[in-house]
Chains A and B, each alone.
Chain A
Amino acid sequence: MTLDIPTLLAIAGMALVTYATRIGGLFFAEKLELSGRARAAFNEIPAAVLVAVIAPMALATGPAETVAALLTALVARKLPLIATIVIGVAAVVLLRGLLG
């Protein structure tokens, strides 16, 4: 990547829209009155967003990645975060070796 005007413009644009999304919630959440179902949906935002980010890697890359993701999910409920990551990474290396 070289630093010329279009590159700088693109990066500045990225920075601008990113910050806008980060503080945007401040403005609309205050006007938000949450009741029953809406609150239930709001509570599941974290899990839904995180899953959506990793689903292509976990489900649409290959059998090794899918099996490793399932294994990681199994250990994630019992082990601390760091151990979960180490096991997940080890599993994917091993499975890629086995399954190609």
Chain B
Amino acid sequence: MSGLVCAGAAQFASIEIWGHPVPIAAVVFSTLLVNLRNLLMSASLVPKTGSFTVLQRMLGFYALSDENWALSERRAASRPLTPAYFLTMGGVLYTNWVFWTTLGAVAGAFLGDPRRIGADFAFTALFIGLIAGFWKGKSTAGAVVSSAVASALAFIVLGPPWHVLVGAAAGILTAYATSRADTA
């Protein structure tokens, strides 16, 4: 699953609803919802990968994830994004993901509860660090706060995976609505 899908958040979400027999439609739909954000991410990278060939884009975007997309955006903010940078990062990320999830599947039974060592929080801390890298002042603050509140509420009321879509939409709409005051 890691090799073909290679999408952490969606894989976690699918495990939550996995059962016997496998609810194929529910699993696929949940994956689609969680990964809809990829649409926004690949769209935002289009202007930055203008010099790429079609094949470079098709390959690079296969390994697109929150992490390498965030690092690409960071890189693009200071210097042009090169195919070498983007594809190497995608390759490393992909190999790592497949290697460590395979190891996790084998070793998981021996480790016990990941909560004990805070491993479940590492993902959250990483994301917070990435968000700090995107900080652009008031407009980011508005987007972050409204996205956080909307996502937490959607998580409680609707349950996963809706929180990702609802939160992201709230944050983006807030940025849209407040931009005039900020950039005028």
Identify which of B10, B70, B115 contacts A46 (C-beta below 8 A).
B70
B107-165 at interface with A (beta carbon < 8 Å):
115-136, 139-140, 143-144, 147-152, 155-156, 160, 163-165
Verify B22–A51 contact, CB threshold 8 A: no
Contacts of B66 in A (CB 8 A): 49-50, 53
Interface size on B, residues (CB 8 A): 92
Verify B175–A81 contact, CB threshold 8 A: no
Identify which of A43, A49, A57, A65 contacts B164 (C-beta below 8 A).
A49
1/0 per residue, CB under 8 A from B, across A1-31: the answer is: 1000011011111111111011111101110
Identify which of B32, B57, B129, B168 contacts A21 (C-beta below 8 A).
B32
Identify which of A9, A28, A52 contacts B168 (C-beta below 8 A).
A52
Verify A55–B147 contact, CB threshold 8 A: yes
Verify B131–A50 contact, CB threshold 8 A: yes
Interface residues on A, range: 35 or more
Verify A26–B126 contact, CB threshold 8 A: no
A86 to chain B, nearest CB (A): 8
Verify B140–A44 contact, CB threshold 8 A: yes
Residues of B near any A CB (own CB < 8 A): 1, 4-7, 9-11, 14, 18, 21-24, 27-28, 31-32, 35-47, 57-58, 61-62, 64, 66, 69-70, 73, 115-136, 139-140, 143-144, 147-152, 155-156, 160, 163-168, 170-176, 179-180, 182-183
With A6-B21, A51-B151 already in contact, 18 other A-B pairs whose C-beta atoms are closer than 8 Å: A6-B24, A9-B24, A22-B42, A22-B61, A22-B64, A25-B38, A25-B43, A26-B57, A43-B175, A44-B143, A46-B73, A47-B171, A48-B167, A65-B124, A72-B129, A84-B129, A85-B129, A89-B121
